[in-house]
Amino acid sequence: MTKTSKPGRPRTAGRTATTGRTDRAARPQEAGAVTGAGISRQLFIQATQALGAVLAFEYPADAVLSRHFRDNRELGHRDRGFIAEAVYGVLRRLRWLRRLAGAEATPRMLLLAWFARGEGWPMRNFEGLVSATESDWLASVKAADAGEMSLAERVDLPDWLAERLLQQMDEAELVALAHGLNRPAPLDLRVNLLKADRDAVLAQLQAGGVAAEPGRLSPQAIRLAAKPALQKHPLFLDGSFEVQDEGSQLLGLLVQPRRGELVVDFCAGAGGKTLQLGALMRSTGRLYAFDVSDKRLAKLKPRMARAGLSNVHPVLIAHEADAKVKRLAGKADRVLVDAPCTGLGTLRRNPDLKWRQSPAAVEEMVAKQGAILAAAARLVRPGGRLVYATCSLLAEENDAIVDAFLAAHPGFAQLSAQDILDKQGVAVATGERLRLMPHVHDTDGFFAAVMERRAEA
């Protein structure tokens, strides 16, 4: 199966907070007639066009931006970075910006308001970009008070999502969570232990001028201080590392596959976690990567080769009850279900999701998640391990799914995620079920529960 809302490759994105301020100044760009801000009129028009397309919310923001950049190949690396930062800044603070600029504000008005208030540009930076009338309007925006706002408006969430999260936490924690979600995600790497060790990769990155430090949670993680282009880095090309959020890496440690085992990644997608599992197995045994998307599985194959894995078997399935799945019933030592979900734990990377998801989408996901978990459980042998995980913050997609599964499947018992990670030297206070939160752990929001099929008498 495939996740409908997966975090993508970390993007360049402007640093924001719930106060709407930033410590970054505008950066000079590469081409065009330059204004006082170092931004050309043409580049500003490009950013406005890209934002307008994204705000239609017909497709994921990263896909819309990729299409825009393909259609405008004259844009250089820094130009693309500027546009992406601006678009994601507006998406993160959309409700606040509409309070300042007006509920019917155009993409251009929202962009101007973002630079004026979110990025803190002085008025001189807009010279050459705005007309005299726009300049007067912009001055009023800079001086405007957003007024009395609801909690949902203050935390830049849709009303329905704020209400659901308030059922799980108090107002102070929701504000702290929103502060974490409204910051761009850092760039994390996972060292491929089949080819390298973390200290060696870290030393080579630092020697090459890449500011990096060890991750504080995953023993395989490296966190970069910036977001350099890595696709042509020698260590990436030889498979020594992959880009993977540090929180995501803990899911593989909960599966804890061993050499020679039969392991199933039930919702493999493009295979980020599959690659981690394969490395932990030292490329021995058999690792099945199931997914309903042949395009995603096609992307996995070159990554497998680069990672040096020979034990991965990508399998295209039609649905969770596919005959290819049933053939493995009762045979798997470990099964990971990184389930399709709303992806609301990835808002640092995908801020458009909070505006594109809905209560109806949650209900649809919940039905899928229960069916997928039940199907995956049939593959687990007696004494084998089943891990259910999402990148969602909602209890309906997390605890409720696991509680219902355990109630309906007395042959499974829950294991402590805390104990499993403690034994691997991972210092994170999580409790019986893994709960990672952006404002607490500086990772994407992840949930995971570990279960074991009881040995037959």
Which residues does the annotation mark as catalytic?
391
- Segment holding 316, helix H or strand E: strand 312-316
3-state SS track over 432-451: CCEEECHHHHCCCCEEEEEE
The radius of gyration of the chain from alpha carbons, rounded to an integer in Å, stands at 23
The pair of three-digit structure tokens given for residue 111, joined into one six-digit string: 């962009």
- Cα angle value 333/337/343 (rounded, 5°): 160
Q: What's the DSSP call for residue 117?
A: I
The distance of Cα 127 from the centroid of its chain, to the nearest Å, equals: 37
AA letter at 251: L
- The values of phi and psi at residue 102, to 5°, are 110, 145
The pair of three-digit structure tokens given for residue 184, joined into one six-digit string: 């761009």
Q: What's the DSSP call for residue 63?
A: H
Q: What's the DSSP call for residue 34?
A: B
AA letter at 272: G
Q: Give CA–CA dist 338/447, Å, rounded.
A: 10
Question: In terms of Cα–Cα distance, which of 115, 152, 89 is closest to 36?
Answer: 115
Which residue, chain included where needed, has tokens 């594109």? 356
Q: Give CA–CA dist 316/240, Å, rounded.
A: 27
CB 277 within 8 A of CB 252: yes
The pair of three-digit structure tokens given for residue 48, joined into one six-digit string: 């406005």
The pair of three-digit structure tokens given for residue 335, joined into one six-digit string: 């099964």
Q: Give CA–CA dist 84/61, Å, rounded.
A: 9
